[in-house]
C-alpha cells in the first residue's frame, strides 16, 4: 500500500504543479546583459522556493547580504513558496541566464523528481550548481507538555497509543517528512502526520500545543529551545551538535538513523561560466570568514563552500538516496 500526502494548502498533483508553474513562467523575465556592460550593473534576485524562516531562507539572507556587498549590487531575496518548492525553482529555470537570477534550494529539491508525476524542468540539467552552502542536522523536538525526554520515551508513548502522537511535517518530500516515515518503519510505530506549508506555521502550532512533535532544522528551533518553549530530544547527525549541548543523536537509540539538511546555490543553466566562477569565488570567501562560520555554527550549521562539481555530486547523491526511500516506502502525492 502506498503512503499518500495531501494538504489543502499545498498543490497535490503533478499536473497541477505544471499549471501553476506555467502561470509563474508567463511573467516576463529580465532582459539579457547589454553588450559592453560589466556584470553586475543592477540588483540580483535570489529566489528561495520555500517559505520564510526555513533553512533555505535563513541561509540565503545570511550569505546573500554579504554576497551583494562583494558583488557591488543589492542581492534581493525573493520567496516563492509552493508545490514543494517547484514553483520557485521553475521560475528560476525559466529566467534569463544572465547572472541576475540565482536560486537557493533546500532538501526538497532532491525529492521532488520522485514525488511529482511531472515538474516543468529537469532538476539536474536545467540548473547550474555554484556551491553547497551549508549542511546540518535536523532536530526532533516536542512540546514541553509531551511526557517524553528521550527518543526511547517518545517511542514508548507512540507504541502505547498508535496514531495518538501528532507529528508536524513541512512539505510532501522534505527530509523532515521522510524522517518520520523512516522512524515509523525503523521503530515500528504509527504517528499522525499533520502537514504544513512552511516551518513557521508548523512551529507556531507546536509551540502552541496543537501538535506534539516534529523534525526541524537547528536554526528554526534554536531560540524556542533556549527559551524553554520546545524540548529537543535528539539530533539526526552522526555526532552530537555543539549548538545543542547535551542533546543526544537519534542513532544512539536507533543505530544508522541519520540525515542532514542542506542548502545549495544554483543558477539557470547556460549562465555564463565567468559569472558562475565569480559568484562561486565570492561565496566561498564569505563562507570561509570566521565570523560567518561562527554564526552558522551557532545555528548548528556547517559552512561548506564546495566547488560547483562537488555541489553537483552532492545533489545527485541526495536525489538517488531519497528516491530509494520514496520507492521503498511507496510514498506518493495525491
If asked whether residues 12 and 92 sit together in one domain, one would say yes
* Phi, psi torsion values for 238, nearest 5 degrees: -65, -35
Q: By C-alpha distance, which of 261, 215, 214 is closest to 107?
A: 261
The residues facing 138 across adjacent strands are 217
Clarify whether residues 41 and 148 are in a common domain: no
Q: Which of 217, 252, 287 is the last residue of a domain?
A: 252
Q: Which of the listed residues 190, 221, 252 is the one where a domain comes to its end?
A: 252
Is residue 3 within 8 Å of 330, Cβ to Cβ? Answer: yes
Residue 103: phi and psi, rounded to 5, are: -140, 130
Are 16 and 104 in a shared domain?
Answer: yes
Helices (H), 11-54: 14-25
Residues in the chain, total: 334
- In this structure, the answer to whether residues 168 and 241 fall within a common structural domain is yes
pLDDT at 334: 56
Distance CA 203, CA 195 (A): 12
- Strand segments, DSSP code E, in the chain are 3-5, 44-48, 75-79, 101-105, 127-142, 166-170, 192-196, 213-217, 231-235, 260-268, 302-303, 331-333
pLDDT of residue 300: 86
Helix (H), strand (E) at residue 94: helix 86-94
Spatial distance between the Cα atoms of 140 and 150, rounded to a whole number of angstroms: 10
Contacts of 317 (CB under 8 A, 6+ apart): none
Write down the pLDDT at residue 3. 59
Provide the pLDDT for residue 86.
94
Cβ contacts of 218-224, under 8 Å, gap ≥ 24: 218/136, 218/137, 218/138, 218/139, 218/243, 218/244, 218/299, 218/300, 218/301, 219/55, 219/58, 219/299, 219/300, 219/301, 220/53, 220/54, 220/55, 220/58, 221/139, 221/141, 222/298, 222/299, 222/300, 224/141
Q: 123 and 220 in one domain?
A: no
Q: Tens digit of pLDDT for each residue in 54-63?
A: 889 999 999 9
Domain match, 153 and 228 both: yes
Q: What is the residue range of 117's domain? A: 3-136+261-333
pLDDT of residue 1: 52
- Judged on CB neighbours under 10 Å (0-12, 13-18, 19+), 307 is middle
Same domain? 129 vs 143: no
190 and 83 inside one domain: no
Total number of domains in the chain: 2
- For residues 265 and 142, the answer to whether their CB atoms sit within 8 Å is no
128 in the same domain as 9: yes
CATH number for 122: 3.40.190.150
List the CATH number of the domain containing 170.
3.40.190.10
Taking 50 as the pLDDT cut, the residues of the chain under it are: 4-32
pLDDT at 27: 36
Residues 186 and 223 reside in one and the same domain: yes
* 153 and 132 fall within a common domain: no
Residue 134 is predicted with a pLDDT of 97
| 277 in the same domain as 131 | yes
CB of 271 closer than 8 Å to CB of 128: yes
Domain end call among 221, 252, 283: 252
Q: Rounded distance, CA 177 to CA 108, Å?
A: 10
**Taking CA 75 as the corner, what is the angle to CA 67 and CA 306, rounded to the nearest 5 degrees?**
40
In 245-307, where does DSSP find H-type helix?
A: 273-288, 290-298
DSSP E strand stretches across 120-205: 127-142, 166-170, 192-196
Phi/psi for 248 (5° steps) reads -75, 175
CA 271 to chain centre: 24
Residue 109 CA to residue 164 CA, distance in Å, equals 31
Q: To the nearest 5 percent, what fractions of the chain are helix, strand and coil?
A: 40, 20, 35
pLDDT of residue 34: 57
Amino acid at each position: 500500500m502506498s503512503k499518500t500526502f495531501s494538504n489543502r494548502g499545498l498543490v497535490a498533483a503533478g499536473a497541477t504543479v505544471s499549471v501553476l508553474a506555467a502561470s509563474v513562467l508567463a511573467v516576463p523575465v529580465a532582459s539579457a546583459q547589454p553588450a559592453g556592460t560589466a556584470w553586475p550593473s543592477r540588483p540580483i534576485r535570489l529566489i528561495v522556493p520555500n517559505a520564510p524562516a526555513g533553512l533555505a531562507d535563513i541561509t540565503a539572507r545570511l550569505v546573500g547580504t554579504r554576497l551583494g556587498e562583494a558583488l557591488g549590487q543589492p542581492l534581493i531575496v525573493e520567496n516563492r513558496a509552493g508545490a514543494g518548492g517547484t514553483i520557485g525553482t521553475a521560475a528560476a529555470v525559466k529566467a534569463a541566464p544572465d547572472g541576475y537570477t540565482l536560486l537557493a534550494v533546500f532538501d526538497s529539491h532532491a525529492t521532488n523528481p520522485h514525488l511529482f508525476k511531472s515538474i516543468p524542468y529537469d532538476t539536474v540539467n536545467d540548473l547550474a550548481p555554484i556551491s553547497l552552502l551549508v549542511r546540518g542536522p535536523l532536530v526532533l523536538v516536542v512540546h514541553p507538555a509531551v511526557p517524553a525526554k528521550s527518543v526511547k520515551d517518545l517511542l514508548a508513548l507512540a507504541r502505547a497509543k498508535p496514531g495518538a502522537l501528532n507529528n508536524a511535517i513541512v512539505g510532501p518530500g522534505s527530509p523532515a517528512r521522510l524522517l518520520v516515515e523512516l522512524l515509523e518503519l525503523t521503530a515500528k510505530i504509527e504517528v499522525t502526520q499533520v502537514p504544513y506549508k512552511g516551518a513557521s506555521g508548523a512551529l507556531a502550532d507546536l509551540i502552541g500545543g496543537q501538535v506534539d512533535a516534529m523534525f526541524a532544522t537547528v536554526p528554526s528551533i534554536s531560540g524556542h529551545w533556549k527559551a524553554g518553549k520546545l524540548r529537543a530530544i535528539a539530533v539526526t547527525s552522526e555526532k552530537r551538535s555543539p549548538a545543542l549541548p547535551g542533546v543526544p543523536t537519534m542513532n544512539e537509540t536507533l543505530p544508522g538513523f541519520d540525515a542532514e539538511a542542506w542548502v545549495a546555490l544554483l543558477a539557470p543553466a547556460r549562465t555564463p561560466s565567468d559569472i558562475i566562477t565569480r559568484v562561486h569565488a565570492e561565496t566561498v570567501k564569505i563562507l570561509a570568514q570566521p565570523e560567518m562560520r561562527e554564526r552558522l555554527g551557532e545555528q548548528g550549521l556547517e559552512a561548506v563552500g564546495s566547488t560547483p562539481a562537488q555541489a553537483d555530486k552532492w545533489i545527485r547523491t541526495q536525489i538517488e538516496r531519497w528516491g530509494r526511500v520514496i520507492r521503498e516506502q511507496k510514498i506518493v502525492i495525491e
